[in-house]
Amino acid sequence: MVLDFKKMFIQKSYFSVSLLGKNLKLNINYSKVNNVEVNLLENDINIVLPIKYKNSDNMNIINLCIQKLYNDVANYELEYAMEFARHTFGFAPEEFKIKRLEDSYYKYSTKTLTINPDIVQFSEEVIYTTVIKAFCNIKHRYGSKLYLIALEKGLKEYEKYKNNKSNQELWIKVS
């Protein structure tokens, strides 16, 4: 087998990025490509940049790649968390948006729930808890007795869901 050295990577650097509660190794590679490529592997995130960016300050490009990755993962993860909360509480906001927020992970109004995609840095438990809190805030004033009752109900349902999910995964692995 003959190796094509023209397509080999030129440089590789390592950073760490938090995704779903795990620290993943960020590999930055330079290759003869036209577009930036981002690949999510089990324990790594690979970003392939065109060679023309090799000697330039490419942190803005890398940050944009990570933000894009967070947006994509948030679309997937928050869809399930929202569906869980909708079934738990029996309602859903009229509109749900994923949008980067300055100083919080969610914002709500009577019709719209906006969640910051940067929340996917944290574990699934933090994501679900945040969505549960947002649903409680939509219906009840923060800190009120009804809010605390709804929050307790949501957290108990999440514990059941999490336990069933882990038992199911264990069963799948065994069989």
Over residues 23-36, mean pLDDT? 87
Lowest mean pLDDT among 50-64, 95-109, 135-149: 50-64
pLDDT in tens, 105-116: 999 876 788 999
What would the two tokens of residue 174 be?
A: 């065994």
Instruction: Note the helical H segments in 9-144.
Output: 59-89, 124-139
Mean pLDDT, the chain, as a whole number? 82
Is it true that domain 73-174 has CATH number 3.30.465.10?
no
Q: Domains of the chain: which residue ranges? A: 9-69, 73-174
Angle, helix 124-139 to helix 59-89, in steps of 10 degrees: 60
Q: pTM score, two decimals?
A: 0.78
The DSSP secondary structure of 103-169, one letter per residue, reads S-SEEE-SSEEEE-GGGGGS-HHHHHHHHHHHHHHHHS-TTSHHHHHHHHHHHHHHHHHHHHHHHHH
pLDDT in tens, 143-165: 899 999 999 999 999 888 887 76
What would the two tokens of residue 23 be?
A: 């620290």
Quick check: 11 pLDDT over 60?
no
